[in-house]
Amino acid sequence: MEKNCKIPKLYGLNEVSRILGIPKGTLYNMKWRGLLPCFKIGKHIRMTEEHMMQVINMGGKLYGN
């Protein structure tokens, strides 16, 4: 393992919803449609700050607008 390996902070959808001001249902819908950059650990959906920045940078384009 690398000595400088840094593990990013992981956020659950409750936290992401609060931080981004997006309803949790919308986040689940985006994940179901394959539009949410995230990953699963077991049953848990997790996002990093980089994933959240991708959502912000995509803006309205997430739904094909």
Return per-residue pLDDT of the chain as tens, 65 residues. 567 788 899 999 999 999 999 999 999 999 999 989 999 999 999 999 999 999 999 875 665 54
pTM assigned to the model:
0.79
Burial of 33 (0-12, 13-18, 19+ CB in 10 A): exposed
Q: What pLDDT sits at residue 6? A: 87
Q: What pLDDT sits at residue 1? A: 54
Q: What pLDDT sits at residue 9? A: 95
